[in-house]
Amino acid sequence: MKPFGMVSFSGSTKVGPFYMLIWEGVKRQTIREPRKDGQDHVKVGRPFSLYWKVRRTDKEGEPHRLGLAMCTAYEAVKLIDMWDDEANALADGFIDLNEFRDWFFGGWREAHWLDDLIEAYRSIDRSVYESVAKAFPGAALSEFLTSEYRRIKWKYPLIETTCKDFVNCPRCGRQNDALLFSHWGCCYCGWKG
């Protein structure tokens, strides 16, 4: 079956860099903003390519292909509906629900109104709440309530992987992919040799 689509990753969580989490099967999904052209990122039941750092500023070397994955789900989701979903956070490679929340809505700890807002959102007619949020389109609250993302899930193990060799970082001692380490240094501590 011909592959459809590709997804690029960069960065890391407290568990480790995304590429390692994908290869180890810890990260089995990703949450993305909808594409600007309105097209789907992937198609359910079709393989798609996973890449590391396709969009980057340094342009050192080629983007690194992580492998090929089979798409098992592609669905519209809202952050507010995933706010208390620990299983979702873990499947996305985060150490816990709080790290997931920090990633997607960094100011949530200072937003003292947020718990009350979520409780109200869950207890009333959502269409009423969304119309209120739409009345203030520039507010972070509106975005939090109404923005739809796309959750892409894939089957583990990957159909194929490019993971071949590993190297330990001389500074922190953690294991990195040898090719990625040669281009960008340690994905954990940032050391470059």
Two tokens, residue 75: 């669905």
- CATH topology for 6-162 is Sulfate adenylyltransferase (3.10.400)
In a 10 Å sphere around its CB, with 0-12 CB exposed, 13-18 middle and 19+ buried, how is residue 96 labelled?
Answer: middle
Q: What ranges do the domains of the chain cover?
A: 6-162
Helices (H), 33-190: 79-82, 86-91, 97-104, 114-123, 126-134, 140-146, 178-184
User: For 70-110, how does the pLDDT look when each residue is reduced to its tens digit (9 = 90+)?
Assistant: 999 999 999 888 999 999 999 999 999 999 999 988 888 88
Question: DSSP secondary-structure letter at 35?
Answer: P
* Encoded tokens for 60: 């050192």
pLDDT tens digits along 21-73: 998 899 999 999 999 999 999 999 999 999 988 876 665 655 588 889 999 99
**pLDDT score recorded for residue 14:** 93
In sequence order, which residues have a C-beta less than 8 Å from that of residue 45 and are 6 or more positions away? 70, 71
Paired sense of beta strands 47-52 and 148-154, if any: unpaired
* 19-30 residue pLDDT tens: 889 988 999 999
Rounded Cα distance between 119 and 115, Å, is 6
Copy the structure tokens of residue 40: 């789907």
